[in-house]
Amino acid sequence: MYTDKMLRDDALKGKNIVVTGGGSGLGKAMSHYFLELGAKVAITSRNLEKLRQSSHQLEQETGRRCLPVQCDIRHYDQVESMLQQVLETFGKVDILLNNAAGNFISPTEKLSTNAFDTIIDIVLKGSKNCTLAFGKHWIEQGQTNTVVLNIVTTYAWTGSAYVVPSATAKAGVLAMTRSLAVEWAKYGIRFNAIAPGPFPTKGAWDRLLPGELKERFDLAKKVPLKRVGEHQELANLAAYLVSDFAAYLNGEVVTIDGGEWLKGAGQFNILERISPEMWDMLEEMIRRNSEK
């Protein structure tokens, strides 16, 4: 059921979409569904060989056009060239999905200044580079009904220890989403974000849960729904948000995490560990105390 597809056939027909980091993990899963829904998709990242393999697989599986374009989003000139390549092949682009990211766990005091910068450069500067290049192009062309969808995390607003560069950068991306949703609405550009909880991918798990951490910190246990997300669940949400069905949704961040971050936030949520017998005892104690 969690892997069922949500939108009707051809819901993205006529849409040309660029997905950064589209050659692996969640970017690849979302690209797959966009293609199935009739879109043309360009997937971009640093590793061209990986992109070629992924685009070949995506084209085989969906029968649609998927263009691999090499681009390190940290460099504005490469982003401009990537956009030109997409325009030369597809003629126009309608949707930008800022999905590429870099991350690893580390005590912050152990990080070199270059390590911190590397994450900020990929996540915040990379999303800014793509947004600015695509936005300028759309505004210059007078092209409306365009969309930017940003993938953030739930710690973009709570913050999180041990992934501080990522949290700092994702918070910036969320602020950019909300700011431009207002400023560029006049140009017909919609901005939204998705904050995913745990969705297992090799890229994230190798860097955030290396070795035995996978078993020691089973993320499914942190989620009230007691499971991690299915890639199709995220793809369904992303496809809806970039589609014309979401034409009145602007400046929103949609959390898809099974309730994970709220469980960490609610002061008394730890009382989940209290057994039914213990609740009876506690009630008796509380009532006795209030009689005095």
Site stretch for ligand NAP (CB under 6 A), options 33-41, 43-51, 82-90, 273-281 = 43-51
């992303």: which residue's tokens? 238
- Catalytic annotation present for 155: yes
* Binding site partner of 20, from ligand NAP, ligand HXC, none, Cβ cut-off 5-8 A by kind: ligand NAP
Q: How many residues bind ligand HXC (CB under 6 A)?
A: 18
Q: Of these, 101, 189, 239, 246, which contacts ligand NAP (CB under 6 A)?
A: 101
Is residue 101 a contact point for ligand HXC (CB under 6 A)? yes
Q: Of these, 203, 251, 259, 264, which contacts ligand NAP (CB under 6 A)?
A: 203
Is residue 275 a contact point for ligand HXC (CB under 6 A)? no
- CB count within 10 Å of CB 2 equals 10
Cα–Cα distance measured from residue 201 to residue 203, given in angstroms and rounded to the nearest whole number: 5
Letters for 148-177 (x = contact with ligand NAP by CB under 6 A, - = none) are ---x-x------------------------
CA Rg, the chain, in Å?
Answer: 21
Task: Catalytic residue, from 2, 155, 162, 240: name it.
Answer: 155
In the range 202-221, which residues lie near ligand HXC by CB under 6 A?
A: 203-204, 207-208
Is residue 15 a contact point for ligand NAP (CB under 6 A)? no
Q: State which residue has the least CB distance to ligand NAP.
A: 203
Is residue 161 a contact point for ligand HXC (CB under 6 A)? no
* Binding site partner of 38, from ligand NAP, ligand HXC, none, Cβ cut-off 5-8 A by kind: none
Give yes or no for a contact between 7 and 243, defined as CB atoms under 8 angstroms apart.
Answer: yes
Q: Is the dihedral of CA 79, 151, 69, 181 positive or negative?
A: negative
Q: Of these, 57, 81, 85, 106, which contacts ligand HXC (CB under 6 A)?
A: 106
Question: What's the token pair of residue 229?
Answer: 């997300």
Q: Of these, 16, 54, 103, 146, which contacts ligand HXC (CB under 6 A)?
A: 103
Residue numbers of the site for ligand NAP (CB under 6 A)? 20-21, 23-27, 45-47, 50, 71-74, 99-102, 122, 126, 151, 153, 196, 198-199, 201, 203-204
